[in-house]
Amino acid sequence: MIAFRVAQGFFGAMLMPTALALLRETFPVDKLNAALGIWAGVIGASTAAGPIVGGFLVQHVNWESCFYVNVAVGAVALAMTLLFVLETAPSPAARSFDFVGIALLSAGLFSLIWALMKASAYGWGSARTIGFFVGAAAALVLFVLCEFRAAQPLLPMRLFRSVSLSVGAVLNILLMFSLVGSMFFMSFFMQDVHGLGPLMSGVRMLPLTGTLIIGAPLAGLVIQKVGPRLPMAGGLVVTAAGLFGLSRLGTASGPNDALLWFVLIGLGLSPVMVGAADVIVGSAPVELAGVAGGMTTTAMQVGGVLGTSVLGAVMSAKVAHLLPLRWAEAHLPVLVGQNLVEAKSLVSVGVAPVAPGTPHQVAAVITGIAHSTFMSGLDAAFLIASIAALAAAAVALLIKPNLTVMEVAEVVGVVEVADQAPAHSAGTFLEAAGDL
């Protein structure tokens, strides 16, 4: 299972950067945003279909069928690629592999993601957690230093001369932080607290993902007319409102109480998904479109891990603090040692730690404590996510208004020329770049 999942991830990692590079190569500047809007809408559609189709298969067939169905999907995608996708010329920017850069970036991202995933188990202050974080920081710093010196760098640092591109990478992280974090924890709310099956949980999530399907193409058209800056900032404010609404849910709240907030989150994230891809892929020169696409994908993956890990840590900390207090207030037998660890683990995903044979009245008390504690943790996690979305809205304002793809390309080109120009003319070149 693990080996095949590694293979799935390895080859799947080739798809999204290639898709974004093809869009950048194929569509002219004035149509790129609309194309990215459709791309983001398709991502929303697949995100919506996954939990629903997967839930149906798990409930009515078996869990293995969730993998088998992708064989058919892959066959259709392969046929469409062979029929409709035209080959493009090799990029002159990729004449060799940056093996040192690949190794350092891989080590850095692996250590970072592993530390975030395992911190709750190891302990945030444990030597192992700190060691992985230090290792990640060291590898990533070395990666940046090596990229400045490499003849053919994996990630050309000159791309980050564009403030908008750099901001887009940060916003991609925060986009998936909000989206993945919302869907991950609300699945526990739907299934473990309210007893919905996987299928109905997927259906209840549809307002969030379904809004992305509709909102992303519309956001692409709006961004094409007014630029990405204001739509992205406004979208993040709407996202923050939706996340804040989810943080107000309580033990008396039902699954339907989340629907309005799902709609707001979906509407808010639509311009962010399109705009972030636009300012990264659209800002890069065509020969670096694949690199920009890879940067977009990596930022989204890191954001998804952060969404589950950071919000999960907030959830765990809240549960660890409240559960013993509420347990003691109910005059239940004291939880110690492994029993306490297991109870915290179960309550963190909305499951009541009721042992077999527990009297019905006591089981009801334990269930009430577990669900109220879980909701307190969930509310704290979404409040943090809401604050992060507001901070992201402020970051989005750093994007230059009315910036076009060609202007960024000209800036990069001017700076490159200035690097090679005589000293007496370099200042003129750089002054022109600053004006742009």
Within a 13 Å sphere around the CA of 151, how many CA atoms are in the beta-carbon half?
4
pLDDT of residue 136: 92
Question: With 0-12 CB in 10 A as exposed, 13-18 as middle and 19+ as buried, what is 60?
Answer: exposed
Distance CA 189, CA 256 (A): 11
Distance CA 282, CA 75 (A): 30
Q: Tens digits of per-residue pLDDT, 171-197? A: 888 878 877 777 788 888 888 888 887
Question: With 0-12 CB in 10 A as exposed, 13-18 as middle and 19+ as buried, what is 100?
Answer: middle
Whether the CB-CB separation of 304 and 254 falls below 8 Å is answered with no
Q: Tens digits of per-residue pLDDT, 120-133? A: 778 778 899 899 99
314-319: average pLDDT? 85
Distance CA 247, CA 386 (A): 8
Q: Tens digits of per-residue pLDDT, 198-224? A: 778 778 878 887 788 888 888 888 887
Whether the CB-CB separation of 164 and 279 falls below 8 Å is answered with yes
Question: With 0-12 CB in 10 A as exposed, 13-18 as middle and 19+ as buried, what is 121?
Answer: exposed
Question: Which pTM value belongs to this model?
Answer: 0.76
Q: Tens digits of per-residue pLDDT, 349-401? A: 888 888 888 888 888 888 888 889 989 988 998 998 898 889 889 888 888 76
Measured at the alpha carbon of residue 186, what is the angle toward residues 180 and 187, in degrees to the nearest 5?
90
Distance CA 253, CA 290 (A): 45
Distance CA 28, CA 24 (A): 8
Nearest to 265 by CA among 286, 246, 292, 288: 246
Say whether pLDDT at 97 is over 60: yes
402-408: average pLDDT? 45
Say whether pLDDT at 119 is over 50: yes
Distance CA 344, CA 377 (A): 11
Whether the CB-CB separation of 262 and 211 falls below 8 Å is answered with yes
Maximum separation of any 2 CA atoms in the chain, in Å: 88
**Mean of pLDDT over the chain:** 80
Distance CA 227, CA 400 (A): 9
Whether the CB-CB separation of 16 and 8 falls below 8 Å is answered with no
pLDDT band for position 240 (50/70/90)? very high
Distance CA 101, CA 119 (A): 26
Domains, in order of start, for the chain: 13-93+156-320+374-402 (1.20.1250.20), 404-436 (no CATH)
